Amino acid sequence: MNSDNAKAVTGWIERFSTCLFCSRAMSNLGELTRKMRYSIALDMPPSQEADEEAVTVWRCPYCGWWAAKSPYLNTGGHIMAEVGYGALRAFDPADVAAPIEASRAHLMLRPEDALKLHPQRLEDIVGSIFRDFGYRTRVTAYRADGGIDVYLDSDQGLVGVQVKRTKNPIEIEQVSSLTGALLVNDCTSGIFVTTSRFRRGARQVAGKARVRGLPVELYDGQRLLKALEIAQLFDPEDLGNPWMRCVFKEYYKEH
């Protein structure tokens, strides 16, 4: 590769190391291999044998935007680059039929849209986050759920999760109601997740429940988004991932 070609490739890497959509750092997924059949002239059919080509792929772990590049030789013997980009489409946060990955990426990119999510979709997102953290999760029926929206099963016991999509602060009575549901459903601990915040009295109730042997963790809107960010970046196959050494290590639970 001559200096001009090297400069072009370097420029491409610099350009796509940052997401064009959300301006965050892109992840290099490495080189993939594809097989292509080419014609040596426009009026001739493609060759019968497929040529293997290396495709470099970059992906934003936050919003899902992607870009790919594949070098090839043109008829003049010059190295060219074929570049592809992710396409955007209108996304409806209230659509419960959308892929959960799309809903998570949208919430990561536009946290202000949390209140636009269907309550059931927020329950699905919360369940998927804790699944990424190593729990065996089960999202309950949207209605008549007995006060528990998501169950987290681990070797340490059964955790009951209540999820509230609201702009209003969580009151004492709501946390007290969760503690009652935990006892009725034989849960060993609980988690209350909300898009808003907790009043001081609600935090005090959670503290008293912990003292009495029924721990209740509180996730306000800010902590929920931080957990989502970790889940978006975490690769369970990569034990060298910086996430494994960060201060949020307590989120992770072994099967």
Q: What is the pLDDT of residue 6?
A: 44
Would you give the distance in Å from CA 125 to the centre of its chain? 9
Is the four-CA dihedral 234, 237, 243, 244 of positive or negative sign? positive
Q: What is the pLDDT of residue 188?
A: 96
CA distance 190 to 149: 11
* Distance set, CA 52 to CA 38, 45, 55, 94 (Å): 11, 18, 10, 42
Low-confidence ranges of the chain (pLDDT < 50): 1-10, 239-255
Q: Is the distance from CB of 197 to CB of 166 less than 8 angstroms? A: no
Question: How do residues 30-49 score in pLDDT, each as one tens digit?
Answer: 777 665 555 555 555 655 56
Q: What is the pLDDT of residue 81?
A: 62
pTM, rounded to two decimals: 0.66
Question: How do residues 88-111 score in pLDDT, each as one tens digit?
Answer: 566 788 888 888 888 898 898 889
CA distance 70 to 254: 40
Q: What is the pLDDT of residue 43?
A: 59
